Structure 1
Amino acid sequence: MSHIHRHGPRPMVTTVVGSIASGIVRALFDWLLQHFTH
């Protein structure tokens, strides 16, 4: 990940993908917690 400071033609895409990925990870974590606590 050495090209993190290099902005591509659409730097907004990485932000959107990052937010979507974090949301998916958070939902998956909540789902796992719910299933493991039961």
Structure 2
Amino acid sequence: MAAELLVTPSAGHVDLYDRVSLIPFDKLTAFFRNNLK
């Protein structure tokens, strides 16, 4: 499994719970599809 650092500018830790527009779902989906086979 390859690790990847994903920096989301202007988002803090708590922002990623409540501000769904900041969550990089495309990157998360690609990561899990590639690594959970």
* TM-score bucket of the superposed structures, by smaller chain: 0.3 to 0.5
Q: Which has the larger radius of gyration?
A: 1
The structure, 1 or 2, with the larger RCO (C-alpha pairs under 8 Å, 6+ apart) is 2
The structure whose residues are more often helix, as a share, is: 1
Structure 2 length as normaliser, TM-score? 0.38
